[in-house]
Homo-oligomer: A and B are copies of this chain.
Amino acid sequence: MCARNTDTKEEILRIGKHFIQYYGYNAFSYADIARELNIKNAAVHYHFRGKEDLLIALVDKNIENYQSLSKQLNHSKMSTLSKLGKFIEPYSILCEAESICIIGSIASDYKTLPESVKAKISLLVEMVLGMVEQTLSEGKKKGELQFFESARTQALLIMTNLAAGVQLARISGKKDYENIRKAVIRRLKK
């Protein structure tokens, strides 16, 4: 099926994700990826024709991950607060790594991307917002969560707190993110 190295493609995705979330989409090149993996840049082009294709692959992976999370949450007897934790936790991990989320990273470079990529990102955004919205609705219905806005607006408020929270943490420190995270959870409880 394949020769030499089975997981070069996966490694490129791993480093690509890291570079996008740490340095930003327009701040790294295929040469950077190649250097990091001790391969030639033509090898990166072999697996992903261009940078956009790499980005699309990463967005697709994110969509798949959230789809799998969605299934997991649907059959789960977890509390809705714990379910929300599944959306919050990745941001805490990002903050620890001094990185930002892929959506936040792409948001700044959004206007430089071709329409095909933009559409895929829209899909991802709508998906995440929809999932959080649904979890919030469920929690309110069960009396496990409290909030006063519509579920959509509440989802927007929470996700913008988290997304900009990790961005801000790189500038003003991790403590600010921690305070945001705690406040987001506290508000939903009382």
Contacts and interface: CB of A to CB of B under 8 A. Distances in A.
Contacts of A176: 156
Count of this chain's copies in the oligomeric assembly: 2
Contact of A24 (B112, B148, B179): B112
Contacts of A164: 104, 107, 159-161, 163-164, 167
Given A171-B121, A172-B126, A112 B156 contact: no
A149 to B, nearest CB: 5
- Size class of A's contact patch? 35 or more
Nearest to A184: B157
30 contacts: A22-B111, A23-B111, A24-B111, A25-B108, A27-B111, A27-B112, A103-B171, A104-B107, A104-B164, A107-B167, A107-B168, A108-B167, A110-B171, A111-B170, A121-B171, A122-B171, A125-B171, A148-B187, A149-B183, A150-B179, A152-B179, A153-B179, A156-B165, A156-B176, A156-B179, A157-B184, A159-B164, A160-B161, A161-B161, A163-B167
